[in-house]
Amino acid sequence: METLFGISQNGIGMLVWLLWALIGAFEALLAARMSQKRNLVADLVTGVIAGVLGGYFSIHFAGDSPVQRFLISVMGAVFLAAAAMWIMGRLLRRRR
């Protein structure tokens, strides 16, 4: 079970990767719901990729214990996915 949930110097558990992807997907669905003119597929792809990248890269910069690394990775996933959704919205607005 430790390998599924854990975040350490040696590796990241599978459920943590899934959580980061779900955070990105949730933010993409939220962005598509708030703005009816958005492309749902493009938002989902962007949100999932941004959530995973945000979570992965944030654990390398801060946190000493596994709990701190986990919480920081969740915040990084939320922040980068939100930033990606905002950028996508601005880019799509200018094209129209």
* Residue 2 in domain: no
* Residue 68 in domain: yes
* Residue 53 in domain: yes
* Residue 84 in domain: yes
Band (pLDDT 50/70/90 cuts) for residue 94 is low
Please tell me the total count of domains within the chain. Answer: 1
pLDDT tens, position by position, 26-39: 998 888 888 777 78
Residue 86 structural domain: 12-95
Give 95: exposed, middle or buried? Use CB within 10 Å, 0-12, 13-18, 19+: exposed
* Residue 5 in domain: no
* Residue 7 in domain: no
DSSP track, 1-34:
-HHHH-B-SS-B-HHHHHHHHHHHHHHHHHHHHH
Band (pLDDT 50/70/90 cuts) for residue 1 is very low
pLDDT tens, position by position, 42-70: 889 999 999 999 988 888 777 777 788 88
pLDDT for the residue 41 = 87
Using the CB atoms, write b or e for 52-90: b if 16+ within 10 Å.
bbbbbebbeeebeebeebbebbbebbbebbbebbeebbe
* Residue 4 in domain: no
